[in-house]
Structure 1
């Protein structure tokens, strides 16, 4: 049997069982809601009304006695008010009583009330102060007993409804537990047979994917089974064979381009330098200007070539990192001094804000200089003439709150960590739109903002920076420069402090 058929059949049974339980649960909940509605909307209201009837009856009795003993008209008026209140409560009770027993007792109370009202009207007509008619005492006593009876019946009705709800809940609970137990057994059986049929090939597939991730493209899977895993194994073997070919092609490309392109380009730059130094002969100002432009273009071409070569090395997994203890402030000062002439050409001022206390980090110094040079170089390219670029560095104990979630998941805070070093490069250029803040770190991605800026590359620099920072277990991201209303702030995060020095790591993290 095919694996897909096994999975579908097993879980179809489980889903059907769960659907049946769900239907029963919905019906039970609906029934319990109906009971609760009766309890909350009617029975408890009836109980409250019966209590009010007892209070009204007591007031009627009190003012009946006061009216006949004192004979004050004010007491008679009060008596009429309390009679109206009792009659109103009695009318509400007639509406709220739902059970047959409640209706019987309420009707009897109505009859006693009517008899009392008639007797009271007769006695009031011949009111003689100082004496309480015995007939009225008898009627009031009957009313007291009957109101108590109505109240007790209301309470018993509530108890009956509560018991019914409890029985329904207990039954639903028992069925739920039974269905859950059956579902658990069925799930275990289904899962057991499915896992049994796929665990071994899945284990081999896991080993194969791990081998490919480690660059072992020669790994092959067994394709002799007669199921979906056999088809998957054949496709996997085809993929690894193709990856092996591509991997070899990348390595050949890196080796070939390194020797074939860098050599002639270096010769061109050296020749231009010699001409500018006027070794072959003197030059006119126009000739010097043209040679300067030629040298600048060759440097741009060299930078683009280095980026392409770095990308190829990173993708091929042949980039080496020599992690040693470095003073981050010194690295920043080196980059600033190297790029300051380029900034002065655009009348841009670079303002470093660096701590007096050393920031010791473990990194590959050349690669971090490459990242810093890229960030500061971009800031110079995109900043308008006469603006200011600020380079700040400081240490923090924990990850900054503004750090994107995608980086926060990758950079974990170790218990033994001494904290982090942060570098911020702030400019006042056009800025980076929110939709591109993550994409600019992808290969060949560039933000289109009007005409192309002079010196703009092919979109590899930030992608390489991201991969370098990933290899250092650090982070790089961009935010808006809120202090100037425009521009960007590129942040660089590195870990502080470590005891190992001079350890070389290799990475094959793809861009």
Structure 2
């Protein structure tokens, strides 16, 4: 048997799970990296930009205070307190400057003038405007620090903008990753489920048809995995069963043909001997001749059933629909089976509505179904039992029922009784039969687009039912 497997189910699941894991962990890794980067930027803003901003602000406050005290000193004509304040502010300014440069050494070159030797003139000017004018050194320092403050603010704004943009990108990537995971997870699982269910449905259909006893048909191979191999194996099995069925049908046809002629000769010979053509027949001889005649008739009926099954399987069942009265069919059936029922002391009853139940069907075939079902009911009923045949109309269907007082059929055996050559295990040794009557009946009912089933409980009899459409299509 050729192989069709390219991707196993496990490989498909692995590919699907791997893609899902890659997207999930890739998105998670990116988000983790972005969060780490954002944390670094935030830490830099707090540790550098904010701290530097605070330090520059404090140094500017000191320089503004120095300028105010210089102006005060000039206006008051030499206030010693103002000089003390100037010295204190410059000292504190120097401490803050050194501490800031230690933490931010990159500003040493830019603030080189702040750390160089400087000179502050306290002499008063000729006018009030001169006295209020800023000191040159202090003004240069203030300009340097204010420019550094502006640069630091701009740097902070740029970092915050980058942080915002990075956060927006992270949010977008996270959303896209989540959508991709959902699409791949849900879509992939639905796709795999659909693919597997599609292949399994084909195999299930084939097995279900095989279980009904119908000729097995090939099923479609819809995948290239283990289920595809299973479908291929099923098709190989179905082909083998079809070959065996053809061989069996050919054998049955050949056997029936070869046996029919000698069997006819045997029956004619028995009839001639019984009629006394070759001399007087004794009572004992007549007894054995009657047994031989009965067995010959039984073999003829068996051959007829075998031929009927073979004919139904080899060609489409031809139906000749016509208006049929259910009451007349039941009446004919009971008349035909009356001698058999009388021999076994079985009572036959008919239950038909007062209003005629008329439907369209092939009269001869439905009559054969009733004969098969009622004959089985008589066969399995105990002596003194009752077999009831009834018909009822319900809407667009007519339903027939054949009920007996026999041993009943276990629930697990009810579907199998309609298979060819099948006989209920408990009855194989006690009741004669080839297991063909119900198979023939089912084929006829299905050809009429009807349904046949069995009801009842073990030990409380069986009720075989079949329903037919009132109007045959």
Give the root-mean-square deviation of aligned CA atoms.
Answer: 4.8
Relative to structure 1, the CA distance from residue 18 to residue 220 in structure 2 (aligned partners, 3 Å threshold; closer, same or farther) is: closer
Deviations 1:122-141 (A, max 9, x none): xxxxxxxxxxxxxxxxxxxx
Matched, 1:11 2:9: no
Q: Which structure would you say has the larger Rg?
A: 2
Deviations 1:311-337 (A, max 9, x none): 4444x4425231412333333222211
| Unpaired stretches in structure 1, ≥5 consecutive residues | 21-174, 398-418, 501-511
Matches within 5 A, 1:442-481: 442-449=419-426, 452-454=429-431, 456-480=432-456
**Conserved 8 A contact 1:346-1:386:** yes
TM-score normalised by the chain length of structure 1: 0.48
Deviations 1:376-400 (A, max 9, x none): 1112122222232221111112xxx
Relative to structure 1, the CA distance from residue 8 to residue 320 in structure 2 (aligned partners, 3 Å threshold; closer, same or farther) is: same
| Unpaired stretches in structure 2, ≥5 consecutive residues | 26-173
**Partners of 2:354 and 2:287 in 1: how far apart?**
41
Number of the residue aligned with 2:468: 494
**Conserved 8 A contact 1:426-1:488:** yes
**Partners of 2:361 and 2:183 in 1: how far apart?**
53
**Conserved 8 A contact 2:23-2:180:** no
Deviations 1:408-464 (A, max 9, x none): xxxxxxxxxxx211111222222223333333233444334489435x213332233
**Partners of 2:427 and 2:234 in 1: how far apart?**
45
**Conserved 8 A contact 1:354-1:394:** yes
Q: What is the CA-CA distance between 1:231 and the residue it aligns to? A: 7.1
**Partners of 2:390 and 2:193 in 1: how far apart?**
58
Q: What is the CA-CA distance between 1:348 and the residue it aligns to? A: 1.9
Deviations 1:205-236 (A, max 9, x none): 99xx9xx999999x9999xxx99899789868
**Partners of 1:386 and 1:490 in 2: how far apart?**
20
Secondary structure of the structure 2 residue equivalent to 1:259: helix
Q: What is the CA-CA distance between 1:477 and the residue it aligns to? A: 2.1
**Conserved 8 A contact 1:383-1:427:** yes
Q: What is the CA-CA distance between 1:293 and the residue it aligns to? A: 1.9
Relative to structure 1, the CA distance from residue 422 to residue 273 in structure 2 (aligned partners, 3 Å threshold; closer, same or farther) is: farther
Secondary structure of the structure 2 residue equivalent to 1:342: helix
Relative to structure 1, the CA distance from residue 180 to residue 321 in structure 2 (aligned partners, 3 Å threshold; closer, same or farther) is: farther
Number of the residue aligned with 1:385: 383
Q: What is the CA-CA distance between 1:254 and the residue it aligns to? A: 4.5
Matches within 5 A, 1:25-104: none
Choose the corresponding residue for 1:304, options 291, 302, 305: 302
**Partners of 1:221 and 1:390 in 2: how far apart?**
46
Q: What is the CA-CA distance between 1:2 and the residue it aligns to? A: 3.1
Q: What is the CA-CA distance between 1:487 and the residue it aligns to? A: 2.1
Matches within 5 A, 1:51-200: 179=178, 182-185=181-184
Q: What is the CA-CA distance between 1:340 and the residue it aligns to? A: 0.5
Deviations 1:82-120 (A, max 9, x none): xxxxxxxxxxxxxxxxxxxxxxxxxxxxxxxxxxxxxxx
Number of the residue aligned with 1:271: 269
Secondary structure of the structure 2 residue equivalent to 1:489: strand
**Partners of 1:6 and 1:463 in 2: how far apart?**
45
**Conserved 8 A contact 1:353-1:391:** yes
Matched, 1:2 2:2: no
**Partners of 2:412 and 2:236 in 1: how far apart?**
37
Q: What is the CA-CA distance between 1:479 and the residue it aligns to? A: 2.2
**Conserved 8 A contact 1:348-1:380:** yes
TM-score normalised by the chain length of structure 2: 0.52
Choose the corresponding residue for 1:347, options 339, 345, 348: 345
**Partners of 1:451 and 1:232 in 2: how far apart?**
35
Q: What is the CA-CA distance between 1:341 and the residue it aligns to? A: 0.7
**Conserved 8 A contact 2:349-2:388:** yes
Number of the residue aligned with 1:294: 292
Secondary structure of the structure 2 residue equivalent to 1:375: helix
**Partners of 1:469 and 1:182 in 2: how far apart?**
54
Number of the residue aligned with 1:360: 358
**Conserved 8 A contact 1:254-1:313:** no
**Partners of 1:215 and 1:376 in 2: how far apart?**
27
**Conserved 8 A contact 2:397-2:468:** yes
Relative to structure 1, the CA distance from residue 486 to residue 237 in structure 2 (aligned partners, 3 Å threshold; closer, same or farther) is: closer
Secondary structure of the structure 1 residue equivalent to 2:319: strand
**Number of equivalent positions:** 307
Secondary structure of the structure 2 residue equivalent to 1:362: strand
Secondary structure of the structure 2 residue equivalent to 1:394: strand
Matches within 5 A, 1:226-245: 242=240, 245=243
Number of the residue aligned with 2:405: 428
Matched, 1:374 2:372: yes
Number of the residue aligned with 2:281: 283
Number of the residue aligned with 1:61: none
**Conserved 8 A contact 1:352-1:391:** yes
**Partners of 1:272 and 1:448 in 2: how far apart?**
35
**Partners of 2:417 and 2:232 in 1: how far apart?**
37
